[in-house]
Structure 1
Amino acid sequence: MSVSFDFSDDVALVTGASGALGSAVCEEFADAGATVAAADVVAPDEEDALLDADRERIDFYEGDFTDEADVERVVADIVDDHGGLDYLANVAGTWRGGSPVAETDAETFDLLFDVNLKTAFLASKHAIPHLRESGGDADTSDDADTSNDARRGAIVSVSARSSLEGGAGDALYRASKAGVRLLTESIAEEESGAVRANAVMPSVIDTPANRELMPDADHSTWVEPADIATTVLVLCSSATPVTSGAAVPVYGEA
């Protein structure tokens, strides 16, 4: 069964857009006809950036989403440029680990909670007023028509499978991603009937950085960023009109 999306005339903000997963989400939205506001502190012309900001329907906005003034500016610019905002994908994030809590410095705490949780909080805070006004919820069609008239703005944030339990060596990463999941559930409760909010929970994503970090791992079990990006679009589409507050596994065999 094939599934297609039509996000024509809709505007999607994607944070962490220069990374492997963020750039994949941008590509999926653009391929489905959306106007993509791709936001990151890393510009597309920097060495490690993976975003193709020259392609049609992708507009890059440089901003530090750990800084509220920067977030407020970027969201305002997007709304001014494109007339509104329909979807938010909170992809910005990072990983640090390897040390037990007793040997982890406070700077690592600040980094992980700023990049993983604060960015999702600030982006959501400033996007929600515009998402409430959204008239765009994309039609999704397949062999059995799943489109409907439910039209609400939507947020999808990236949590992690490891946020479901404690583990040795990366406690702060797990805690920050658990915070993303609980933030998502809370937004879903607060914005019930106005804005849908869901999270996706990957395990190991098949990215160049992860392959370099774990060269001897079984990469065949890892999940491609594009597959996770497709799930993000499903959760923004009218295929899931009554799904809000969910934490969706996207880790396959990883």
Structure 2
Amino acid sequence: MSASFDFSDRVVLVTGASGALGSAIAAAFDDAGGTVCGADIVAPDDEDAHVDPGVIDYYRGDFTDEDDVSRVIEAVVADHGGLDHLCNIAGTWRGGDPIHETDLETFEFLFDVNLKTMFLASKHALPHLQEREGTVVSVASRSSLSGGAGDGPYRASKAGVRLLTETIAEENEGEVRANAIMPSVIDTPMNREMMPDADHDAWVDPADIARTVLALCSDAAPVTSGAAIPVYGEA
């Protein structure tokens, strides 16, 4: 069974748009007719960017900085007349050390990139999303469901994403739907480089995760809010 989505006349903001997952989500919304605004500190023409420059209206912004977040979101609204969907995709992974060997810089970095960006983007987007009964989709993680050796701060930051998602859903019931997705291992060039001997066939294609994001933002999920949706595949 195939599914199609129509986001014509909808304005979407994707943070982390130049990354592997963000670019796949941006492309999926573009294919569905949406006006896609992409925010990142990495420009689309950078050698490390994955996104097609023709897919997004690019807004450079550091989403760990509240002034930058406010500026970008207000610019998106001014340029396009409003905002319908926010996809909090900016994030990263660090790990390898037990808590007693983890430096504060690593802890703060993970909470800044994974949780603070989601908080700030949601905070400043919500007034605009409320006007259009919009949606928020954020990226948590399968590993946020439990503790584990070696990457505790990462797991904790992603657990925070889940809890803030539930809070946003409850605070905006009937106005804005908020959900999280929980990937396991995503098939990205960086992950393949980090884990060259893993079973890459079991990893999830970012394009498949993107379709779940579209479904959560669409009229196909009108009563789904406050959920954390597994997108593990076989990983």
Residues 42-51 or 222-231, more deviating:
42-51
CA distance in 1 between partners of 2:3 and 2:94 (Å): 36
Which letter does structure 2 place at the counterpart of 1:14? V
Give the alignment of 1:180-195 within 5 angstroms. Answer: 180-195=161-176
**Once superposed, what is the RMSD of the aligned Cα atoms?**
0.6
From 125, 133, 144, the counterpart of 1:163: 144
- Matched residue, 1:225: 206
Give the percent of matched residue pairs that are identical in Structure 1 and Structure 2: 73
- Secondary structure in 1 matching 2:5: strand
CA offsets 1:150-187 (integer angstroms, 9 cap, x no match): xx300000000000000000000000000000000000
Question: Which is richer in helix?
Answer: 2
Cα distance, 1:238 vs structure 2: 0.5
For residue 3 of structure 1, give the secondary structure of its aligned residue in structure 2: coil
Secondary structure of 2:174 counterpart: coil
- Partner SS, residue 60 of structure 1: strand
Give the corresponding residue for 1:174: 155
Structure 2, unaligned runs of 5 or more? none
User: Is the partner of 1:37 in helix, strand or coil?
Assistant: strand
- 2:106 aligned residue (105, 108, 129): 108
Deviations 1:209-248 (A, max 9, x none): 0000000000010000000000000000000000000000
Aligned to 1:241: 222
Counterparts of 1:26 and 1:211 in 2: how far apart (Å)? Answer: 22
Please give the alpha-carbon distance, in whole angstroms, between the structure 2 residues aligned to 1:224 and 1:94.
17
CA distance in 2, matches of 1:154, 1:202: 19
Shift in Å, 1:54: 2.2
**1:123-174 per-position Cα deviation (integer Å, ceiling 9, x unaligned):** 000000000011xxxxxxxxxxxxxxxxx30000000000000000000000
**4+ residue stretches of structure 1 with deviation over 3 A?**
none
**Partner Cα distance (2:53, 2:85) in 1:** 19
For residue 78 of structure 2, give the secondary structure of its aligned residue in structure 1: helix
Q: Which amino acid aligns with 1:83?
A: G
| Structure-2 residue corresponding to 1:27 | 27
